[in-house]
Amino acid sequence: MAGGAKAAAVAKKLTKSTKSKKGTRIHTKVHFYRTTTLSLARKPKYAPRSVPRKSTKHSHNVIKYPLTTESSMKLIEDSNTLVFIVEIKANKRQIKQAVKDLYQIECDKVNTLITPRGLKKAYVRLSKDYDALDVANRVGVI
Amino acid sequence: MVKAYELRGLPKEELLKTLGDLRKELSELHVAQVTGGAAAKIAKIKSVRKSIARVLTVHNQQQKEGIRKAAAGSKYISKDLRLKKTRAMRRALTKEQKAKKTLKQQKKDTHFPMRRYAVKA
């Protein structure tokens, strides 16, 4: 009756369903939303660039030169403002910082415009404690 | 006007300090240019610009050299420090890979090399 024992073993295996019910989900909605999977942070084995790129936005690059036209002279005397020609890609915050670094002055506000010549002009209004006339003399504008 | 061979002996801080001084000088010269200053000042602009370039060149060369020295021997180095050559050459087989032979061929070469004979006159 060895065959009978073998048959009984096979029959036992067959009563357990071959497909497990673990993975089947019940979907109550039509949509399929992408699950969030594991995203690891980078751990580079070598630096992508051996030397990090140089920043080209330092103060000497931002401010090119001051303007010495008649109207800018008037602004120096009357409105306590200095007028600079400035790097075209500089923004007002960078201009403010650059003026502070180069000339040690605080400014109230900076107004900018792009001239038809393609240059950026910055009107830098100095704060009350600084005198534009003094700074202009110091820099050499007058 | 700075000379490159004088700059090469300087440490990094001194190089950066001369760079700052030169840049300040250049901005003063630009102011002189705008206010119609002396011709000597305006002529100096070119030499100051080139001096700035020289300082930056020496600084960058020294920096790259230092990094190369530090990275030498390590398993992974940045791509800009590796050989540039051409894209195809970087992907080509190495000399060792090209010279590899099958065991069968190695045996043949050892047992049956190309003989050279001399004819006795």
Model confidence over B4-21: pLDDT tens digits? 999 999 999 999 999 999
Q: Does A48 touch chain B (CB under 8 A)?
A: yes
Instruction: Classify residue A61 by burial, with Cβ atoms within 10 Å: 0-12, 13-18, 19+.
Output: middle
pLDDT tier at A6 (50, 70, 90 boundaries)? confident
pLDDT tier at A20 (50, 70, 90 boundaries)? low
Three-class DSSP category at A70: helix
Q: Calculate mean pLDDT across residues B75-85.
A: 93
Q: Does B70 touch chain A (CB under 8 A)?
A: no
Q: Does A43 touch chain B (CB under 8 A)?
A: no
**Model confidence at A25: pLDDT above 70:** yes
**Model confidence at A19: pLDDT above 80:** no
Q: What pLDDT, on the 0 to 100 scale, is given for residue A4?
A: 78
Residues of chain B positioned with their CB less than 8 A from the CB of A139: 31
Q: What pLDDT, on the 0 to 100 scale, is given for residue A11?
A: 77
Interface probe with A: pick from B35, B62, B65, most Cβ of A within 10 Å: B35
Give me the residue from B32, B71, B80 closest to A49, CB to CB. Answer: B80
Chain B residue at shortest CA distance from A101: B24
- Per-residue pLDDT of A102-132, as tens digits, reads 999 999 999 999 999 999 999 999 999 999 9
Q: What pLDDT, on the 0 to 100 scale, is given for residue A17?
A: 62
Residues of chain A positioned with their CB less than 8 A from the CB of B55: none
E strand map for chain A: 63-66, 81-86, 107-114, 120-126
Q: What pLDDT, on the 0 to 100 scale, is given for residue A14?
A: 74
> Mean pLDDT lowest for which of A14-23, A29-38, B35-44, B80-89?
A14-23
**Does an H or E element contain B63, and which?**
helix B39-71
C-alpha pair distances (Å), B17 with each of A138, B5, B14, B23, B55: 22, 17, 5, 10, 10
Pairwise CB contact (< 8 Å): B60 & A51: yes
pLDDT tier at B114 (50, 70, 90 boundaries)? very high
Q: What pLDDT, on the 0 to 100 scale, is given for residue A66?
A: 96
Write down the ipTM of this complex.
0.77
Give me the residue from B31, B63, B76 closest to A51, CB to CB. Answer: B63
Is the pTM here over 0.90, yes or no? no
- Per-residue pLDDT of A71-102, as tens digits, reads 999 999 999 999 999 999 999 999 999 999 99
> Mean pLDDT lowest for which of A8-17, A42-51, B8-17?
A8-17
Pairwise CB contact (< 8 Å): B35 & A140: yes
**Model confidence at A18: pLDDT above 70:** no
Taking the C-alpha atoms of residue B23 and residue B21, their distance in angstroms, rounded to an integer, is: 5
Pairwise CB contact (< 8 Å): A65 & B33: yes
pLDDT tier at A24 (50, 70, 90 boundaries)? confident
Taking the C-alpha atoms of residue A75 and residue A65, their distance in angstroms, rounded to an integer, is: 16
Pairwise CB contact (< 8 Å): A140 & B81: no
Give me the residue from A48, A50, A66 closest to B31, CB to CB. Answer: A66
Pairwise CB contact (< 8 Å): A65 & B34: yes
Pairwise CB contact (< 8 Å): A46 & B80: no
Give me the residue from B23, B71, B78 closest to A60, CB to CB. Answer: B23
- Per-residue pLDDT of A48-67, as tens digits, reads 999 988 888 888 899 999 99
